[in-house]
Chains A and B, each alone.
Chain A
Amino acid sequence: MIPLSWYLLLSATLFCLGIVGFLVRRNLITIFMSIELMLNGVNLSFVTFAHQWHLVKGQIFVFFVMVVAAAEAAVGLAIIIAIFRARATLAVDRIDLMKL
């Protein structure tokens, strides 16, 4: 018997760790991965609440989150490749011009 609050705590910590990664890290890909982490944190809380109220919609919503994450990853990585090809660096601070 594990109270659901523990799951929620875990998802909150994951989410916050994602934010920290998003703020602190300077490599573009790492930032991207911390966003994925945040999304997973959210997924966990979705499932938890789905279980709490015995509603399947929660879980379906996680599907949609996954879809969006996938699309985002695809496009994001394409951009990263384009940036890397143009600037030969992935350090976020050096990429500050709107034009590549």
Chain B
Amino acid sequence: MNGPLLFLPLIPLLPFAGFLLNGLFGSRLPKALVTLIALLAPLGSLAIVAHDAYLFWSGAITFPVIEQGAPTWISVGTLHVDFGFVLDQLSLTMLLIITGVGFLIHIYSAGYMAHEKGYWRYFAYLNLFLFFMIVLVLAGNALLMFVGWEGVGLASYLLIGFWFQKTSAADAGKKAFVVNRIGDFGFLIGMFLLLANFGTLTFSEIATKIGENPGWTGGVLTCIAICLFVGAAGKSAQIPLYVWLPDAMEGPTPVSALIHAATMVTAGVYMIARSHAIFDRSPVALSVVAIIGAATALFAATMGLVQTDIKRVLAYSTISQLGYMFLGCGVMAYSAGVFHLMTHAFFKALLFLAAGSVIHGIGGEQDLRKMGGLRKKLPVTFWTMTAGVFAIAGAPFLSAFYSKDAILYAAFQQGTFGRVLWAVGLFTALLTSFYMFRLWYLAFFGKQRAPELHPHESPWSMLGPLVILALLSIGGGWIGIEKFSEWLAPAVGTHAVEAAGGIPEWAFSVIAVSMGLIGWLVAHVLYFAKPDQPAKLAGSFSVPYKVLVNKYWVDEIYNALIVKPLLMISRFLLEWVVEFAIIGGVVWLLAGIALLTGAILQKWQSGNLRSYAAWLAAGAAALLLFAGAVLLAANGVDIKWAGWK
């Protein structure tokens, strides 16, 4: 592409440079310089991305931009992988989100982490995360994406375990990394299958190969798609592998905002959108994605109802919203999924940062039961939080309203199976608005339940990003699904949207908004009008309440079914039986034999003269008998003396 320079490799390299500078020299640099380096990196990348976006809009370049002649990474035998970056609408959108929201969160965390000991280490890891996320998004082939994939897993491990002195944080970090590795296992198998059947890992070549053979459906492609989805489920915390996200809240709040809300967890959705060519050809895989997406949405929403920790509520809400995105992808409405991804990035980052500002304001307390009545003391945080809450609840004309409806509408068109998903999605929307308004009321309304806290508003360095994000989450959806899917069409393909069976589209919107209103009403009654009502309700429905509070005991089940048996087997069966008994046993046996023969022979040397004499005689006798036998056998019985002369 000898057109205008796109500086594609520079986008990830700037944050990497930031990581190196802060990582190596951060501890010796003054805090201001560390912040400067840390902020310059995402700003630089944002500038380049904006520059490339401008080039595209001004028509100077056409997408997709596939970088030719990139340096080769691995080339052995038939396998050839290079550092080829690809820029198209999809990756440009993702880049805008990552660098934009990332930059805002960097500014926010400058204020939030101001008095932390490992300040430079935090920003080094944050820049490292940005580097890996950008590599993931720009990657032209699955292996390079895998580099970004595991890299963000590493960055999240380091950031979750930032306060490594706390065992819970260190445990959460390790848990996140290991569960991600389980997902990566699926991704690896998917890549091997791709290699086995396509001989290449580059997405464009795979897409062209699939294009050439319209006959391919199901079979191999389903297998590959499902393996890739396992990887996505691991990274984006879907049903079987979501357990790490709630624990990841141990990390600092801006980390939760950036990694566990806006960018990393959406990597799964991006990967499916990027490899949509494979998913299109396997309806089985698509239905699996849709079902798991819807199930996760509902499942996580139910758990979010009863959480008391403000960040855990948002964590379950993230899992639920991710379920929506996968539902969108599952019904082949990739553009709707990505649209929701974008709007979710805005309002979820806003909610997390606002929650961070609340926690920062009341001295690190995260328990909703201790908050209350903060409206007057944290006005800016309150108003920005309100924007976020209304956005996620699906209030009309705010961002989620457009994106969530698009997904539900697309789901509705997929026949009866789609209608079931649509119903589940609708009910989850109700739950979503309920737990968001519950949080809203508990935190900001009523009287302050913990008098000892004396909340103070956060500095403007934290409130600035909140305001910008509030504006984005309000205006984010105005682009509208039609223009957005038309913008993404070349990257993710267009999918015929059949008629909705006579029901006009605005009717769906009305239903969705009414769900949101109902949720708000119930929350209002329970938490604003009669504050003692939830306690009574919990009492009466004690069993379901206990199930939800203990998060369906999923962690305990995993421990009991997988972790404990694995440790038991390896400690007792493998270590004791195989290692000591069998392998150690064989060695001991050989040594034993040697000792035994020694002991037996030792008996001979007893020092008893007469036993020596006996053995002497026995030996002589044996010799004589032997000679006699040989002689007799040799020349028959008649011994001729002549023979002996």
Contacts and interface: CB of A to CB of B under 8 A. Distances in A.
State yes or no: do A and B touch (Cβ within 8 Å): yes
Nearest to A19: B617
B339 to A, nearest CB: 100
Contacts of A26: 610
Contacts, number: 24
B607 A23 contact: no
Q: Is the interface of B mostly helix, strand, loop or mixed?
A: helix
A96 B609 contact: yes
Given A19-B617, A22-B613, A23-B614, A53 B607 contact: no
Interface residues of B, number: 10
B538 to A, nearest CB: 91
Contact of A31 (B607, B613, B614): B613
B645 A96 contact: no
Contacts of B613: 22-23, 31
Interface in B275-326: none
Contact-size category for A: 10 to 19
B617 A22 contact: yes
Nearest to A24: B610
B360 to A, nearest CB: 90
Contacts of A19: 617
A95 B609 contact: yes
Nearest to A26: B610
A52 B610 CA distance: 37
Interface string A54-89: 000000000000000000000000000000000000
Nearest to A22: B613
A95 B611 CA distance: 12
A97 interface: yes
A100 to B, nearest CB: 13
Contact of B610 (A53, A92, A97, A98): A92
B640 to A, nearest CB: 14
Nearest to B618: A23
Nearest to A52: B641
Interface in B600-619: 606-610, 613-614, 617
Nearest to A35: B613
Interface string B116-137: 0000000000000000000000
A97 B606 CA distance: 9
A96 B614 contact: no
A66 to B, nearest CB: 22
Contacts of B617: 19, 22-23
Interface string B145-176: 00000000000000000000000000000000
A57 to B, nearest CB: 13
A99 B84 CA distance: 88
Contacts of B609: 92-93, 95-96
B476 to A, nearest CB: 102
Contacts of A92: 608-610
A82 to B, nearest CB: 15
Contacts of B641: 52
Interface of A: 19, 22-23, 26, 31, 52-53, 92-93, 95-98
Given A19-B617, A96-B609, 7 more contacts: A22-B613, A22-B617, A23-B613, A23-B614, A23-B617, A93-B609, A95-B609
9 closest Cβ pairs, A-B complex = A96-B607, A92-B609, A96-B608, A92-B610, A19-B617, A22-B613, A23-B613, A23-B617, A23-B614
9 contacts: A23-B610, A23-B614, A26-B610, A53-B645, A93-B608, A93-B610, A96-B606, A96-B608, A98-B607
